[in-house]
Amino acid sequence: MDGKILASFPAGAPRGSWPAEEYAARRREEGVPAEVVMDITRDAYLVVDRAPSSAMAAA
């Protein structure tokens, strides 16, 4: 997976993906292109920043 993991939330939580979606929305308000993805292996919702880092952009 490309990008940086900003946060991880358990998929079995009572509110499902809502905490991850709320976290991602707050990051987007700050200008971070955050999105929520499901990691089946970890059984978790991950909030990721898929924007290319300056190091990747320079390559």
Q: Do 6 and 19 contact (CB within 8 A), yes or no?
A: no
Q: How many CB atoms lie within 10 A of CB 28?
A: 12
pLDDT of residue 58: 45
Q: In degrees rounded to 5, what are phi and psi of residue 19?
A: -60, -40
pTM for the full model?
0.80
d(CA 27, CA 52): 16
Counted domains in the chain:
1
pLDDT tens readout for residues 7-54: 999 999 889 899 999 999 999 999 999 999 999 999 999 999 988 764
Q: Is residue 32 part of a domain?
A: yes
d(CA 2, CA 54): 14
User: Is it the case that residue 56 has pLDDT exceeding 50?
Assistant: no
Q: Is residue 14 part of a domain?
A: yes
Range of the domain at 21: 4-50
